Structure 1
């Protein structure tokens, strides 16, 4: 259930202001006028979605499922178990996803809806009345939704009651804290990714990647151009086994060259180095949110260890 849909709404928690995203709903703190010490490894992992991030997210996802399922059953609503699988891959393996590329390339030929989560499939198959009851129990009432404001994105809304809300609040202490931990680092990660990919080091790596691809018979300036090219081919010629095999071959070559040039690790390194460019408020917020995130993961372990 730890999906992160961004739903915009006019409803906001506290007051809609950018400072609430980075400093919470408390009054301004004079300590925020000075930058904090360098972000620790936990904060950098949360910020760049690397390292310990995935183990923390696994614990939080698993515990959230347990709490949501318990809440739904207490309301008399059947809730199919969908425990997450632990992902022990390295950051590089996760980014390159070579095994998946060897099966279906970039996934461009897959039919629409082929990756619909099992829970969504279950809900869609329910009779209308049962589907309405399930949705209301899980997400709560529409008029109770809360939101925070993200710079450059706008208001992001989330349930203000219901079983999903209760589970997230139980893990993080309250729903606004859950929202800040969920969305603020993600927003800042996107900001750092833009800085990283604009850097001379990244551009040099792209030139090496392009040379590597050229040696394999492909002329592309950057990885995004490969999938764009094959998308255009599918649109022009339709799906075929021959085109799928070409897509798979190109996607594997893309990943192989990225691995040889060490692009996944370079991007993480660049994003972490660019963290120093964040504002004082953003740095303070990341330190605070990382501590909350770690505590939530500890709470999640307790939930999982006490589940019968």
Structure 2
């Protein structure tokens, strides 16, 4: 199995045009006695608002620490600091400019969009690839794991430069793992619940009517992508890519016109504040852990990159 060396975790949200809008799950049971979640916790679980700005600080520190560690281990690891994403939640979700070039991305090959670090490592000999992976991820038999409700066991490095960076930023690796995976699992669960919310169903009827006016008859973005995926099975063509781009751009325009992204985020936030008390308290604690990590990351970045 091909192993990619990119280590940034990317979470998938249920937003307009998503390709993973699966069957709706039951909405979380309300527990109104628990305290409401603050903005930081809601941003963390929905990956919106301040999330990307705060997470950027963490990733800059992580990349800085990993680069220093890898070079100390004798590995060629040019530090590539991630750019700060200044887009709004809606623009980030809709990705209109990307859709104008590649639609939903259904025609892209497995190697399209491969991170530069992965391309670099692929050019190494097998022996040097193994040494690079060992320095970055540690030994395969020294991995750790946590159990995430609704997801199951999640494993991650228990040694290596990535482990050391995450542990320095978060205080310990299990805190990093819980902050990374537990809110993500809750976000996915809330996304499933949103699809059965009356407000969402009304909004999607409006989206469908908007798409029909543009000549595309679909009940949802997921249906549009499923249709195009089936058509690609007969083979790729420039004409089919043009059709995909047209549908994807219309999808984004109709989602923007109908306020789909804001509706989804508002529903997720409302449902997050209706989670059972234990989950709400756990999420609030994880938000505090995350805030401490962001502050630590800021200090690391200032020391490592003075004047940046």
Q: TM-score range by the shorter chain?
A: 0.7 to 0.9
C-alpha distance in structure 1 between counterparts of 2:68 and 2:273, whole Å: 42
Match of 1:49 among 29, 43, 47: 47
Judge conservation of contact 2:32–2:274 (CA < 8 Å) in 1.
no
Answering whether residue 276 of structure 2 is matched by residue 271 of structure 1, we say: no
Q: Residue 22 of structure 1 corresponds to which residue in structure 2?
A: none
Query: Matched residue of 2:111: which SS?
Result: coil
Runs of 4+ in 1 over 6 A off after TM superposition: none
Q: Residue 64 of structure 1 corresponds to which residue in structure 2?
A: 62
| TM-score, normalization by structure 1 | 0.88
Match of 2:291 among 290, 294, 299: 294
Change (3 A) 1:288 1:2: farther
CA RMSD of aligned residues (A): 1.7
Judge conservation of contact 1:2–1:61 (CA < 8 Å) in 2.
no
Match of 2:9 among 4, 10, 20: 4
- Higher helix fraction (1 or 2): 1
Match of 2:244 among 240, 244, 247: 247
Query: Matched residue of 2:287: which SS?
Result: helix
Change (3 A) 1:41 1:35: same
Query: Matched residue of 2:114: which SS?
Result: coil
- Number of residue equivalences: 281
Match of 2:83 among 72, 81, 85: 85
Structure 2 stretches lacking a partner, 5+ long = 1-5, 12-30
Judge conservation of contact 2:147–2:153 (CA < 8 Å) in 1.
yes
Structure 1 stretches lacking a partner, 5+ long = 7-32
C-alpha distance in structure 2 between counterparts of 1:158 and 1:5, whole Å: 15
TM-superposition CA deviations, 1:159-198 (whole Å, max 9, x none)? 1111000000000000000000000000111111111111
C-alpha distance in structure 2 between counterparts of 1:246 and 1:75, whole Å: 49
Q: 1:116 Cα shift?
A: 1.3
Q: 1:152 Cα shift?
A: 2.4
| TM-score, normalization by structure 2 | 0.88
C-alpha distance in structure 2 between counterparts of 1:56 and 1:81, whole Å: 20
Answering whether residue 195 of structure 2 is matched by residue 197 of structure 1, we say: yes
C-alpha distance in structure 2 between counterparts of 1:248 and 1:113, whole Å: 20
Q: Residue 187 of structure 1 corresponds to which residue in structure 2?
A: 185
Judge conservation of contact 1:213–1:219 (CA < 8 Å) in 2.
yes
Change (3 A) 1:34 1:246: closer
